[in-house]
Amino acid sequence: MHTDLQDSCGVFGIHAPGHDVARLTFFGLYALQHRGQESAGIAVADHGQVTVIKDLGLVSQVFNEQMLQSLSGQHAIGHVRYSTTGSSHWANSQPLVRSRNGDVIALGHNGNLVNTTELRDELLAQGVKFAGTTDTEVITALIAHEAEGDLLGAVRKAVTKIRGAFSAAVMSGNAVVGFRDPYGVRPLCLGDYEGNPVFSSETSGLDIIGADFVREIQPGEIVIADAEHGLRSERVELQGARPALCIFEFIYFARPDSVMHGKTLHAVRQEMGRQLWREAPVEADLVIPVPDTGMPAAIGCAAESGIPYTEGLIKNRYVHRTFIQPDDNLRQVGIRMKLNPLTSVIRGKRLVVVDDSIVRGNTTRRLVRMLLDAGAAEVHLRISSPPIQWPCFYGIDMATRSELIASYNSVEQVRDHVGATSLHYLTLDGLQASTGLPRDQFCRACFDGAYPIAVPEEYAMCKMRFEKGDAAAPCDP
């Protein structure tokens, strides 16, 4: 259910002459909607002419049949956004567009750079103008400003300069490119649609259009498709880089039906639930999930414990991100817009409540209060991730330690704050074992503080650091 933790974006791209690439991209974005709900956009190239339609809102709100029919072409990219650098307004919605050597390029990006300020200052000194406030605009400007060579060469040059997390799709009038940072922090995969290449943040974006999964794009890999040369690939090596996929893709971000590193995430999350029970069994009557993201782990927890699994919270699936915030007296209304307890099921019962994470703790506290008010005898919280103690600099919206309740409270203090009868977080070893993969394949910095990509000491991460006026809020250390 998590409202406290947000990933940054989803990207999609396809080169398929003779097919309705705009409609295929629309459906791909629909499958990636969970990765960002603030804005959506599609860029299409038709015989060298690039057209972009984007706006704030969900994919289904931004696009209609008339728009899709107007977007014909040979290749397209698409993007859904949740802001991690730059505020939520139209200028920051993607794909972003720039001119390059008489051509037009459009780019969509998932992730976050750690040297944005340095690169932005360099480009400003060279006379480059910026319309928005995102690190994505810096990537786009670097590629556009590279006058030498083709699009592949410009992307290659940009990848050697940017540092941080980036999975991206970029297109010109005659080519589409998917590329990934040398650490592979954010996911990107390659698919095949009737012999045509497709890029998607997750395999679920391939499934929805009937494309076959080919492989994951490797860390540091650049894959380009065009009519003249077909599909080509090369890798940019970075000394000291190692694979570091964000482990939260396995815990929460990616859809449970997506496949990463050969693992179906629904099965991995079930194993997290089984491991939770092995680590912290308790006398209880029912196992209930916090929908939707707590469901696979709750199923695993119930299977391992033998305690019945049931739905105790009903989710309103028609509620999406809103910018209308309730006042302090109406916070409980905010959670009831999304979840409502099945009082007849939980009254008098000892509940094991399974969720994916606790970030600030306020949403969890309201949830526990709601369950107890509905008559639950006990609420035993089981969290399928370890305590989040360190901020993310690579594209998750948790920029400061002061936002993270587990960074300055013990597990018992967190339990007391949220009002639960008991609380257990999955251990880091238990989490790693559940993935079935070695630890050196992942970034786990939010749990252990071991950042795979160096973050400059003076770099105070703040979403609004390039905003002006009231939006330019100070950053916590």
pLDDT in tens, 28-82: 999 999 999 999 999 999 999 999 999 999 999 999 999 999 999 999 999 998 7
**What value, to the nearest 5°, has the Cα angle with vertex 12 and ends 11 and 17?**
155
Q: Cis peptide leading into 257, omega within 30 of 0?
A: no
Mean pLDDT of 275-282: 98
Domain range for 399: 264-317+332-436
Any domain includes 1: no
406 and 309 inside one domain: yes
User: Is residue 461 predicted with pLDDT exceeding 90?
Assistant: no
**Encoded amino acid at 318, one letter:** Y
Which residues does the annotation mark as catalytic? 9
At residue 41, the 3 state secondary structure works out as strand
User: Is residue 456 predicted with pLDDT exceeding 90?
Assistant: no
Any domain includes 474: no
Task: Report the candidate in 346, 263, 357, 252 with the shortest Cα–Cα distance to residue 296.
Answer: 252
Question: Tell me, what's the pLDDT at 65?
Answer: 95
Mean pLDDT (the chain) is: 89
102 and 36 inside one domain: yes
300-355: per-residue pLDDT in tens?
999 999 999 999 999 987 765 444 444 545 555 667 778 999 999 999 999 999 99
> Structurally, how many domains does the chain consist of?
2
297 and 357 inside one domain: yes
Any domain includes 475: no
Any domain includes 471: no
CATH code assigned at 112: 3.60.20.10
Question: Tell me, what's the pLDDT at 158?
Answer: 95
270 and 400 inside one domain: yes
Any domain includes 256: no
At residue 458, the 3 state secondary structure works out as coil
**Structure token digits, residue 344:** 């007849």
The predicted model scores a pTM of 0.90
CATH code assigned at 278: 3.40.50.2020
